[in-house]
Amino acid sequence: MAVGANLLRLASLIVVARGLQLDPAFVLSQSTLGLSAAGKAACLGGWIKVTASANNTKLLVKSPTGQPDLTQTTVDMATAGVNYAATVNGGPNHVSGTYRLYVKLCEPVDPDAALKVQTLQFLNHGGTLDHTYWDLAPGYSYVDAAAAAGYATFNYDRLGYGLSDHPDPNQVVQAALQREIAHQIIGVLRKSTVGGKRIKNVVGVGHSAGSALTMAIAAKYPADFDALILTGISTSVEGVVIAQIAFNLIPAALDPSGRFDGLDKGYLTQGAVVQDFQFPFYRYPDFDSTIFRKQFDTRQTTVFGELLTFNSVVAPQPAYTAPVDVVLGQQDYIFCQANCSYPKDQAQTFVNALFPASRSKSTFLQPNSGHLIAQHYTAGKGFAHSLEFLKSNSL
Ligand SMILES: *[C@@H]1O[C@H](CO)[C@@H](O)[C@H](O)[C@H]1NC(C)=O
Ligand SMILES: *[C@@H]1O[C@H](CO)[C@@H](O)[C@H](O)[C@H]1NC(C)=O
């Protein structure tokens, strides 16, 4: 890029930084300005501190001492006649604390488009991933697609992921606390301004575990979101246990890359061979091997605290009336055992079962895609579908 163009970019980023006025409750530290993968969005990143408390579950589990212990736990979870989550539920457990979280706010790089932004999309990543799932590379970035369509996005690493704090992975990093943290952030975002105006709408957008959390927020705080886009989730859970075995989870601290050295062994990640990542997440040959490699090399962690508590916060919401969109990769293994048309369309089944009163239901089975819909060749089709869903609902 020519020097002149670079300077122009920088100038527009500074305007963006001024335009993104965060409520004073947000003190963004070590903030940096940058562009999204394909440069459609200008982004302000940094760390915030959130104080939150929640009624978590006392989990009767300990971090594994090593691989044999963890492998046996995987067997216990997949044992016939056992409801593992119920056997380790030790009752309520109140937790509270102040946590440091990495966040990124993006808006259209075009200043005219930035001035017109009315809707912010609150993005929530899945397990063993982080905020980069939404902005991995040019052509594989929902952040870019949303900005090009006139939306701002808020993206973050949930507690226990990526650049955010990693407290006790069993008792603290659980669904209930994640929900309270997100609710507080959404409250602040609703008081913040983009391009000098208050944000009018906030849409909850999730992938996989992030969809479960988005639903949990909507269930307890229905006013937080004006619409939901839930991806990589369904009521067909036969594939979940098989996928969990396929993950071949290891204590992340033992990963040969050394990226997770020193983490509590309760932080887990997929094994270091690519099959452990491909089987649950990808549909071969419908992805670019460099994209696969990038996502594999930057993969993050997951924790029993979340894995065992998301079920307890996800339930049908018969009173929820806001628009809901559901997108699944047609060959998602985790949530459809690789066939989201079996026995019938699982996206439709899901939205009808969980949000019967939604005034505007929309679904899409993204062709030629496994679980990570944003990382297959057809990613753009899924993005376009969800953005069209928002436009058609005047959001
Ligand atoms: C936790 O439970 C107590 C007692 O039921 C309740 O008063 C409190 O509001 C709950 N806290 C949260 C954050 O939901
Ligand atoms: C998926 O299931 C549907 C419905 O049973 C069936 O018609 C279709 O052939 C299956 N697809 C594949 C690829 O097996």
**266: nearest Cα among 164, 180, 160, 178:** 160
Nearest CA to 127 among 261, 274, 252, 293?
252
Which ligand has the nearest atom to the CA of 368?
2
Interacting residues of 207 by C-beta distance below 8 A, sequence separation 6+: 124, 125, 126, 129, 133, 134, 231, 232, 372, 373, 374
Domain of 136: which CATH number?
Answer: 3.40.50.1820
Report the separation in Å between the CA atom of 55 and the middle of ligand 1, taken as the mean of its atom positions: 6
Distance 329 CA to ligand 2 centre (A): 14
Say whether 298 sits in a helix, a strand or coil: coil
Contact indicator for 144, 41 with CB cutoff of 8 Å: yes
Q: Determine the Cα–Cα distance for residues 20 and 193; give it in Å rounded to an integer.
A: 6
91 C-alpha to ligand 1 centroid (Å): 14
pTM of the entire predicted model: 0.95
Q: Residue 6: what pLDDT? A: 46
Ligand 1 contacts (CB < 6 A) are: 53-55, 180
Tell me if residue 52 falls in helix, strand or coil. Answer: strand
The whole-number pLDDT of residue 315 equals 85
Question: Interior CA angle at 179 toward 194 and 53, to 5°?
Answer: 105
Half-sphere exposure of 130 (CA within 13 A, CB side): 23
Q: Whose CA is nearest to atom 3 of ligand 1?
A: 55
Mean pLDDT for each consecutive 10-residue tract of the chain (395 residues)? 45 53 71 92 92 96 96 93 94 96 92 90 98 98 98 97 98 98 93 81 97 96 98 90 91 96 97 88 97 96 94 86 98 96 97 97 98 98 98 98
Ramachandran bin of 155, using left for φ above 0, alpha for ψ from -120 to 50, beta for the remaining angles: beta
Q: Which of 387, 24, 391, 19 is nearest to 198 (CA)?
A: 19
φ, ψ of residue 222 to 5 degrees: the values are -60, -25
Q: Which domain covers residue 286, as residue numbers?
A: 2-392
How far is C-alpha 44 from the chain's CA centre? 19
Read off the pLDDT of residues 131-148 as tens digits, 9 standing for 90 and up: 999 999 999 999 999 999
How many structural domains comprise the chain?
1
3-class DSSP string for 306-319 = HHCCHHHHCCCCCC
SS3 30: strand
The pair of structure tokens assigned to 111 is 């200043």
Please tell me the distance from the alpha carbon of residue 390 to that of residue 250, in angstroms, as a whole number.
Answer: 39
Taking the centre of ligand 1 as the mean of its atom positions, its distance from the CA of residue 54, in whole angstroms, is 7
> What pLDDT was estimated at residue 19?
56
